[in-house]
């Protein structure tokens, strides 16, 4: 079991171009060097491409800080958006907060951001 505290961040109902900036700020403020963060998507009812880009930005920053991030409880249209974008394959996604906590306690950072395109890369 990890001796580091695990932070949990609840996403709002909409993660889109209107909210992406505030969501990014909220998520980035939860990142600390060598920390563990759960991103709970249970309240998300709508996610656009801007929301997906926000998650990518946060994941890159988490990698820089060696912060482990597990996403959980996305459903409906938000889960569909992650699936269709292919992003669900890049994220560490758990079904529940308990499962996310277990993953964070079981191992350290897994380098998920390395599977993303480098910042500024085309494609």
The tens digit of pLDDT for each residue in 17-56 reads: 999 999 999 999 999 999 999 999 999 999 999 999 999 9
CA-wise closest residue to 9 among 76, 49, 32: 32
Domain ranges of the chain: 23-110
Q: Which residue has the higher pLDDT, 3 or 105?
A: 105
CATH number for the domain formed by residue range(s) 23-110: 3.30.750.24
Task: Report phi then psi at 41, rounded to 5.
Answer: -100, 20
Give the other-Cβ count within 10 Å of 115's Cβ: 11
The pLDDT of residue 60 is 93
Q: Which residues contact 20 (CB under 8 A, 6 or more apart)?
A: 50, 51, 53, 54
- Average pLDDT along the chain: 85
Residue 117, pLDDT above cutoff 50: no
The pLDDT of residue 81 is 85
């Amino acid at each position: 079991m990890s001796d580091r505290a695990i932070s949990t961040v609840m996403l709002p109902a909409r993660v889109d171009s209107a909210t992406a900036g505030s969501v990014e700020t909220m998520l980035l403020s939860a990142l600390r060097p060598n920390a563990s963060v759960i991103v709970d998507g249970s309240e998300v009812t709508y996610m656009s491409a801007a929301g997906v880009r926000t998650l990518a930005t946060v994941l890159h920053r988490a990698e820089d800080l060696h912060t482990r991030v597990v996403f959980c409880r996305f459903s409906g249209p938000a889960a569909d958006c992650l699936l269709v974008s292919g992003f669900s394959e890049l994220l560490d996604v758990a079904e529940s907060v308990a499962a996310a906590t277990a993953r964070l306690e079981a191992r350290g950072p897994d380098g998920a951001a390395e599977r993303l395109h480098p910042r500024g890369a085309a494609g």
